[in-house]
């Protein structure tokens, strides 16, 4: 959103009072955002969203194992989505490939960003995979795979999707085309995204500074800012309205209102669609359930809040942007700070949110 604190101060001064600007600038959180590169600029081992990963010999595209209790997951959806999940799990398909991050590029772009600069390894690639067919009903470690590939770039090869994953994508497009013909709607493009993969888009990483979302844990560390945002003023725009408007303009105008692609980010403070996703990561990891009742939440609130602060955002992907089609929700790849420092990426938890 902002390149430097001075840039933030200059831009915010056009919309906020001087004390408000000071509070927001003090709360800025560094993060890395993705910017699309011209078509044809993809390079082996480079950063991208969608498409296929670059893998060395011997590293297989990960495949999701059949869950121990399919019915428990299927029953979290309605009758139609539940039956779709049952069929999906029986196929034991590979995960959809979500993103590839060039860690050398990330390290270079994070220079001068304090603790953020040491958060990730400085070499290799992070490969992000997600089960978009069932993951929205199944927060946890099984819906995602994150692989740190340390192999030399010269040993990489571009991979094609596994045949059963490619077939599932084509079947999905055919079903959408059938429905769209019936209702005289536009047919899906040949390379349109599906739950089994998104269009290949080479990206570059750029460091930026963002004010924390009102629902984020970072806002809890800024009591003066949080209190000021809670105040309401009659007859004029409140500070909260102006603050929320800044987010709306930043994310809706970057790629157009229908495609808020700038919600995609690496590290930093998450942009929740509901509550901070780190609460959900803590709940599913601590209690082994997707959600707690109000009474359970109240009974365990202190330990949940303390535990949530141990989680870090690794990657956040806007589903509509990933698909480059109509799509809702955001996928958050989250990891405990201790696991991140130990490079235990197999412990990443995926959380899905939708407004």
The answer to whether residue 70 scores a pLDDT higher than 50 is yes
The answer to whether residue 252 scores a pLDDT higher than 70 is no
Q: What is the mean pLDDT of residues 155-159?
A: 93
pTM for the full model? 0.94
Instruction: Give the confidence band of 10 by pLDDT, cuts at 50, 70, 90.
Output: very high
The answer to whether residue 228 scores a pLDDT higher than 60 is yes
The answer to whether residue 311 scores a pLDDT higher than 60 is yes
- Whole-angstrom Cα distance, residue 87 to residue 148? 30
Per-residue pLDDT of 188-212, as tens digits, reads 887 789 999 999 999 999 999 999 9
Cβ atoms of 348 and 335 closer than 8 Å: yes
Instruction: Give the confidence band of 112 by pLDDT, cuts at 50, 70, 90.
Output: confident
Whole-number pLDDT of residue 297: 95
- Whole-angstrom Cα distance, residue 191 to residue 4? 38
- Whole-angstrom Cα distance, residue 203 to residue 20? 34
Distance of CA 220 to the CA centre of its chain: 21
The answer to whether residue 283 scores a pLDDT higher than 80 is yes
Q: Could you tell me which residue, 326 or 193, shows the higher pLDDT?
A: 193
DSSP letters of 159-203?
A: -PPPHHHHHHHHHHHHHHHHHHHHTT-PPPPTT--BTTB---EEE
Phi-psi region of 58 (alpha: psi -120 to 50; beta: other; left: phi over 0): left
Boundaries of every domain in the chain: 29-210+253-353
User: Would you give the DSSP letter of residue 110?
Assistant: T
**Of 7, 335, 326, nearest to 146 (Cα)?**
335
Whole-number pLDDT of residue 236: 56
Instruction: Give the confidence band of 233 by pLDDT, cuts at 50, 70, 90.
Output: low
The CATH number that domain 29-210+253-353 falls under is: 2.30.320
Whole-number pLDDT of residue 115: 74
Among 31-35, 256-260, 336-340, 344-348, which is the least confidently predicted range?
256-260
Instruction: Give the confidence band of 77 by pLDDT, cuts at 50, 70, 90.
Output: very high
Whole-number pLDDT of residue 189: 81
Instruction: Give the confidence band of 258 by pLDDT, cuts at 50, 70, 90.
Output: very low
Whole-number pLDDT of residue 257: 40
């Amino acid at each position: 959103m902002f390149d430097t604190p001075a840039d933030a101060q200059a831009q915010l001064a056009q919309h906020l009072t001087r004390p408000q600007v000071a509070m927001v600038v003090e709360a800025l959180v560094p993060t890395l955002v993705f910017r699309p590169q011209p078509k044809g600029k993809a390079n082996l081992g480079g950063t991208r969203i969608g498409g296929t990963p670059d893998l060395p010999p011997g590293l297989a595209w990960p495949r999701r194992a059949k869950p121990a209790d399919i019915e428990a997951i299927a029953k979290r959806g309605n009758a139609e989505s539940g039956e779709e999940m049952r069929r999906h799990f029986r196929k034991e398909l590979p995960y959809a490939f979500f993103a590839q991050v060039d860690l050398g590029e990330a390290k270079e772009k994070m220079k001068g960003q304090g603790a953020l600069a040491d958060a990730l390894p400085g070499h290799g690639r992070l490969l992000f995979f997600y089960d978009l067919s069932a993951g929205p009903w199944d927060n946890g470690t099984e819906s995602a795979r994150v692989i740190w590939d340390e192999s030399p770039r010269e040993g990489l090869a571009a991979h094609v999707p596994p045949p059963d994953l490619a077939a599932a994508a084509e079947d999905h497009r055919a079903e959408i085309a059938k429905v769209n013909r019936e209702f005289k709607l536009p047919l899906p493009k040949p390379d349109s995204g599906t739950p089994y993969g998104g269009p290949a888009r080479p990206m570059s990483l750029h460091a930026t500074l963002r004010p924390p979302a009102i629902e984020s844990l970072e806002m809890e560390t800024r009591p003066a800012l949080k209190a000021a945002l809670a105040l309401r003023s009659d007859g004029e725009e409140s500070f909260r309205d102006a603050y929320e408007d800044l987010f709306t303009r930043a994310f809706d105008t970057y790629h157009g209102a229908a495609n808020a692609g700038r919600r995609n980010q690496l590290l930093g403070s998450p942009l929740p669609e509901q509550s901070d996703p780190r609460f959900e990561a803590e709940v599913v990891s601590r209690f082994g359930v997707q959600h707690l009742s109000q009474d359970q939440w109240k009974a365990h609130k202190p330990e949940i809040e303390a535990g949530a602060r141990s989680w870090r955002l690794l990657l956040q992907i806007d589903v509509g942007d990933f698909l480059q089609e109509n799509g809702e929700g955001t996928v958050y790849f989250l990891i405990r700070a201790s696991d991140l420092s130990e490079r235990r990426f197999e412990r990443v938890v995926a959380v899905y949110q939708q407004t």
